[in-house]
Amino acid sequence: MSYGGQTPTVVVLKEGTDTSQGRGQILSNIDACLAVQDTLKPTLGPFGSDVLLVSNGKTTITNDGATILHLLDVIHPAAKILVDVSKSQDAEVGDGTTSVTLLSAEFMKEARQFVEEGMSSNVIIRGYRKACELACKRIKEIEIELKKGGSKEEGDAEFRTLLKKCAKTAMSSKLIQANSEFFAEMVVEAVQCLDPEELDETMIGVKKIAGGSLEESRLVKGVSFKKTFSYAGFEQQPKKIVNAKILCLNVELELKAEKDNAEVRITKVSEYQAIVDAEWKLILQKLDAIVATGATVVLSKLPIGDLATQYFADRGIFCAGRVASDDLERTVAAVGGSVQSTCSDLTPENLGKCGLFEEIQIGKERYNVFEQCPEAQTCTLLLRGGADQVIAEVERSLHDAIMIVKRAIQDNYIVAGGGAIEMELSKYLREYSRQIAGKQQLIIAAYAKALEIIPRQLCENAGLDGTGLINKLRSLHSRGQIWYGLDFAHESVANNLETFVWEPALTKINALQSATEAASLVLGVDETVKSQPNQNTVGSQPVPPPGGRGRGMPAGMPPTQMHMS
């Protein structure tokens, strides 16, 4: 319908809404992602730099990609996709968070030229997905299976050695690189303590204790937690028990002041005394029932008061109240038994067992340690270090190594690291692109070129001649030397399969798929709509319109009236 021969203006979005679309919007999103890539580039590889991040007065020193992106507080909507993809890689595989971010940004960088020339982003996305499919298929063709050979003992020992090599590769770019032999042994032992069916890494507890050197860290094949708050009487309790029987409770063993949690109307003092006597009788019945089970260690999520503490001490029983839920769950997983929520039906079957319980001094703290558990499916890492920031980075490094070892056990196929697999995939995709025609040839070739960002950046961070070494690797891979990658020890190239620079194939496949999906997502967005906050409100209080009731005007008074006091 027209009015007077003119088409009326239709306002769909509210005033102040910002919209931008088209080719310029895609290029803007790519630029934002490249800015994130520039931040992470120097942290890649064995010679990558650490980043010092200060947020709300808290200092973090790390080169873990997911941690850096999390603490950077990225606000650009397109760049946030890179943050999400690094989190995804960290959750699924545990390592390769920096690599996946660099790859996805590099895929966008290579696509930029096609976008500027007017090529449809859907054509680019289709080519990238085809290239990713081919790359993953190639990894499946050349991956090497870690096999257990010989007898069971020999096979287990050999497989353990192979897992240690994977763990050392994961630590090669971390703060603990110099101590990788020590920590690789610890990581493999820790993972092998877990239930082989589930391999739940949350059952590996980590306790950080400031002071001492890194190699004073230790692995407890069981459970260890910081000494809980103790009441009078704890000094008389035993601090070392052999063949301990452990009872885990979710019961409060403490007398409460009547005025805090009860209201009783009484007329005589004797009635008050009867109430107090009844309460004592109840708690003593609970304590007698616990002692009757034969338990020598009593743990509870809830408080254990001074009466119970002294009662247990007189009978040679150790007790700890206010034990953290996750520590108590891991204790049950280590020693057996179950958590009891009542003391009315306790039996010896409810108890867990361990060969040795002791309370030991570590640094300036005391820790309760349960070891020699017959069927332990959990363990605890006690990490030492000179500063809290160092210990926190050691924990992040060990998390990456633990996840890599876990994936290597679940999916025991590996490929060579150090840029070897990226160079092989790049060569393979280049050869494929020459066999096809049209735009897809250019796009797959661009994808192949983008893969070289990993070895190129590794060289740059190590201060090596990237151009010369990349050309040498191209030459070797063209002659069928598929496992040749960078050798930082000799500042040259080497067969990284023989030098034991290994990574799980699953890590590379997941990184390629995640990076390709992230790049496709950003390239597929060609319009952004930013809704401005309501200008007529500040917080939740409406701002009066011009000429309306101002400050000092009572509610309900017309704006033309003045209130005079």
Categorize the per-residue pLDDT at 261 as very low, low, confident or very high, splitting at 50, 70 and 90.
low
For range 79-103, the mean pLDDT: 86
Q: Hey, how many other C-beta atoms are within 10 angstroms of the C-beta on 265?
A: 5
For residue 158, tell me if it sits in a domain. Answer: yes
* pLDDT > 70 fraction of the chain, expressed in percent and rounded: 86
Question: Is 557 domain-assigned?
Answer: no
Overall size of the chain counted in residues = 565
Whether 547 is covered by a domain: the verdict is: no
Q: Which helix (H) or strand (E) holds 6?
A: none
Task: Tell me 295's DSSP state.
Answer: -
Residues 27 and 138 in one domain: yes
d(CA 108, CA 520): 8
For residue 181, the domain's CATH number is: 3.30.260.10
Q: For residue 101, what pLDDT is reported? A: 92
Q: In terms of domains, do 322 and 300 share one?
A: yes
pLDDT score at 562: 39
pLDDT at 10 over 80: no
Question: How far apart are the C-alpha atoms of 291 and 106, rounded to whole Å?
Answer: 66
Could you tell me which residues come within 8 angstroms of residue 378 by beta carbon, excluding any fewer than 6 positions away? 193, 194, 203, 204, 205, 222, 223, 330, 333, 334
Q: What angle (nearest 5°) sits at the alpha carbon of residue 53, between those of residues 50 and 57?
A: 145
Distance CA 2, CA 509 (A): 58
What does the pLDDT look like over 498-529, one tens digit per residue?
Answer: 888 888 888 899 999 999 999 999 888 877 66
Same domain, 40 and 137: yes
Question: Are 369 and 238 members of one domain?
Answer: yes
Question: In angstroms, how far apart are the furthest CA atoms of the chain?
Answer: 102
Do 458 and 483 lie in a common domain?
A: yes
pLDDT tier, 561 (very low <50, low <70, confident <90, very high otherwise): very low
Q: Which two tokens stand for residue 388?
A: 């809290």
What is the Cα–Cα distance from 337 to 375, expressed in whole angstroms? 11
Whether the Cβ atoms of residue 329 and residue 321 lie closer than 8 Å to each other:
no
Q: 315, 348, 375 — which closes off a domain?
A: 375
Q: At residue 129, what are phi and psi to the nearest 5 degrees? A: -70, -35
- Distance, in Å, from the CA atom of 100 to the CA atom of 78, rounded to the nearest integer, reads 16
- Both 139 and 156 in a single domain? no
Distance of CA 217 to the CA centre of its chain: 21
**439 & 463 share domain:** yes
What is the pLDDT, as a whole number, of residue 94?
75
Q: Could you tell me which of 376, 396, 375, 386 has the C-alpha nearest to residue 220?
A: 376
pLDDT confidence tier of residue 420, bands split at 50, 70 and 90: very high
Q: Report whether pLDDT(310) > 50.
A: yes
Burial class (CB in 10 A: 0-12, 13-18, 19+), 89: buried
Distance CA(298)–CA(246), nearest Å, equals: 6
Q: What percent of the chain has pLDDT over 90?
A: 25
Q: Tell me, yes or no, whether 546 lies in a domain.
A: no
Count of domains observed in the chain = 3
Residue with tokens 């808290």: 58
Considering only CA atoms, which of 258, 237, 361 is closest in space to residue 311? 237
- The first and second tokens of residue 462, run together, are 């190590």
Query: Contacts from 114-122 at CB under 8 Å and sequence distance 24+?
Result: 114/439, 114/442, 114/443, 114/446, 115/23, 115/26, 115/27, 115/30, 115/523, 116/23, 116/27, 118/23, 119/439, 121/26, 121/523, 121/524, 121/526, 122/524
Q: How far apart are CA 16 and CA 555, in angstroms?
A: 31
- Please state which of the ranges 103-112, 229-238, 499-508, 522-531 shows the lowest mean pLDDT: 522-531
Cα 201 → chain centroid: 11
CA distance linking residue 148 with residue 541, whole number of Å? 69
- Whether 5 maps to a domain, the answer reads no
Question: Which residues constitute the domain of residue 187?
Answer: 152-220+392-411
Which of 52-56, 121-125, 412-416, 540-544 has the highest mean predicted lDDT (pLDDT)? Answer: 121-125
Is the separation of the CB atoms in 131 and 448 below 8 Å?
Answer: yes
Same domain? 184 vs 311: no
- Residue 519: inside a domain, yes or no? yes
Q: What is the CATH number of the domain that holds 241?
A: 3.50.7.10
- Res 5 pLDDT > 60: no
**How distant is the alpha carbon of residue 139 from its chain centre?**
26
Q: If you compute the radius of gyration of the chain from its CA atoms, what whole number of angstroms results?
A: 32
Residues 447, 338 share a domain: no
Pairing of strands 339-340, 240-249: parallel
* Same-domain check for residues 57 and 98: yes
Q: What value does the mean pLDDT take over residues 377-383?
A: 89
| CATH code (residue 95) | 1.10.560.10
Question: Last residue of some domain: 523, 544, 559?
Answer: 523
Query: Which residues are catalytic, by number?
Result: 64, 97-98, 400
pLDDT band at 550 (very low <50, low <70, confident <90, very high): very low
Angstrom distance (rounded) from CA 326 to CA 153: 34
Instruction: Say whether both 295 and 238 belong to one domain.
Output: yes
Determine, yes or no, domain membership for 45.
yes
175 and 306 within one domain: no
Phi/psi at 341 (5° precision): -105, 5
Listed residue (361, 350, 253, 358) closest to 310, CA to CA: 253
Q: Quick check: is 103 in a domain?
A: yes
Where does the pLDDT of residue 557 fall: very low under 50, low under 70, confident under 90, or very high at 90 and above?
very low
What's the predicted TM-score (pTM) here? Answer: 0.75
Cβ neighbours of residue 395 under 8 Å, at least 6 residues apart?
206, 208, 383
Contact 484, 420 (CB under 8 A): yes
Tell whether the model's pLDDT for residue 564 goes beyond 50: no
pLDDT of residue 553: 42
**Domain endpoint, select from 507, 523, 539:** 523
Q: Are 304 and 310 in contact (CB under 8 A)?
A: no
